[in-house]
Amino acid sequence: MAARLIDGRQSARSIIESVKSATAALEQRAGCTPGLAVVIVGDDPASHAYVGAKSRMAKECGFASTQHTLPATTTQDELEALVARLNTDHGVHGVLVQLPLPPHLDGDQLTQSVSPAKDVDGLHAVNAGKVATGDFDSGLVSCTPAGAMVLVRSVHGSDLSGLNAVVIGRSNLFGKPMSALLLAANATVTIAHSRTKDLPAICRSADILVAAVGRPQMVTADWIKAGATVVDVGINRVLVPGEPDGKTRLVGDVSFEESQAVAGAVTPVPGGVGPMTIAMLMANTVTAAYRAAGIKPPRFG
Ligand SMILES: NC(=O)c1ccc[n+]([C@@H]2O[C@H](COP(=O)([O-])OP(=O)(O)OC[C@H]3O[C@@H](n4cnc5c(N)ncnc54)[C@H](OP(=O)(O)O)[C@@H]3O)[C@@H](O)[C@H]2O)c1
């Protein structure tokens, strides 16, 4: 039997509808409109496309959204001065600096200069620490792992007791926070990476297999336990064989067709984890606005 398809687009839609309702309720209760400031430096087309999508979604959610587009020649001091201004602007509840930055700028330093209360990307060390210690009431969770967890919960519910989870990838952006979220939900978690020995065997022990590597279709059918839930975070652009003009398509870190024959449930690429990232960014922004207004935010997903 073919694996169940986990529809990230539908889950993301449902989160966005909840964000819209929460935004309207906050306006009514406290006269407060969530404000999202997006900062982009340089003219990388992919980054501009992401930022455009985020700004459009923020508007759809009813936020006051501002975009700060800076030239590639912007200095670290200029960028930090802008972030410092946004940190103290009471109309701004979320500050997002689109990564990657041009090579002369220090992205890590800049990420740490965003106020933790406005760090809607969930990348500040304070927020990473809160996720690691299981404090989900005052911190902001990194958007992609938060979204991937919504998809895991849609299959298994919120208590993963007794389930083995394997996360391939240990980045600060995804692998580490995802592992912490799975652990907080009572899964038994293994984190694998490029130095892991016999990765296929470790993956075969997983009831929940999460791949966040950046290697097209690395995970094949023989890595997957029968009936497992497979969450594919990878986004890789590959050439379509036999097509002229270098036509490309997006694939994940998992061989989707192969996984369908073995897994119990799988996320497609595109249409799985990807749409959840932007939805959770909106959820984090409205959460930050509730907290700034001194009101307990609703839970999303
Ligand atoms: N859907 C979304 O919205 C979204 C968001 C973020 C990222 N992504 C995608 O997710 C993927 C991972 O992103 P990332 O930021 O976490 O990447 P990253 O920082 O490059 O981390 C990749 C991880 O994969 C591990 N790895 C590399 N080669 C491996 C191998 N052969 N076997 C086992 N592990 C290996 C690395 O191990 P070492 O630590 O040992 O080097 C590292 O921990 C990328 O495709 C990215 O585009 C998608």
Here the CATH number for the domain that contains residue 240 is 3.40.50.720
Q: Which long-range contacts (CB under 8 A, 24 or more apart) does 291-297 make?
A: 291/117, 291/138, 292/32, 292/90, 292/93, 292/117, 293/26, 293/29, 293/30, 293/32, 295/26, 295/29, 295/30, 297/22
pLDDT at 257: 95
**Residue 21 falls within a domain, yes or no?**
no
* Residue 76 appears among annotated catalytic residues: no
The values of phi and psi at residue 272, to 5°, are: -110, -100
CB-based contact 209:189 (threshold 8 Å): no
Does 23 reside within a domain? no
Q: Flag whether 241 is in a domain.
A: yes
Per-residue pLDDT, 179: 98
Element (H, E) at 76: helix 76-88
Give the number of domains in the chain.
2
Task: Please state, in angstroms and rounded to a whole number, the distance separating the CA atoms of residues 131 and 181.
Answer: 7
Task: Answer yes or no: do 105 and 169 share one domain.
Answer: no
CA 278 – CA 147 distance, rounded (Å): 9
Instruction: Give residue-wise pLDDT tens across range 170-229.
Output: 999 999 999 999 999 999 999 999 999 999 999 999 999 999 999 999 999 999 999 999
Mean pLDDT of 72-93: 98
CB 111 within 8 A of CB 147: no
170 CB less than 6 Å from ligand 1? Answer: yes
* Domain limits for position 165: 143-275
* Ligand 1 center–CA 256 separation, angstroms: 17
The band of 297, judged by pLDDT with boundaries at 50, 70 and 90, is very high
92 three-state secondary structure:
coil
Give the global pTM.
0.97
CATH number (domain holding residue 105): 3.40.50.10860
Write the single-letter amino acid at 155: V
Give the Å distance between the CA of 214 and the centre of ligand 1. Answer: 5
The pLDDT-based confidence of 1 (bands split at 50, 70, 90) is confident
Atom of ligand 1 nearest to the CA of 269: 1
**Is 281 inside a domain boundary?**
no
| 24 within some domain | no
Instruction: Give the distance (Å) from ligand 1 centre to CA of residue 104.
Output: 23
Is residue 161 a part of any domain in this protein? yes
pLDDT one-digit tens code per residue, 108-139: 999 999 999 999 999 999 999 999 999 999 99
Is 235's C-beta closer than 6 angstroms to any atom of ligand 1?
yes
Q: Are both 73 and 148 inside the same structural domain?
A: no
Q: What is the pLDDT of residues 36-63, one digit of tens each?
A: 999 999 999 999 999 999 999 999 999 9
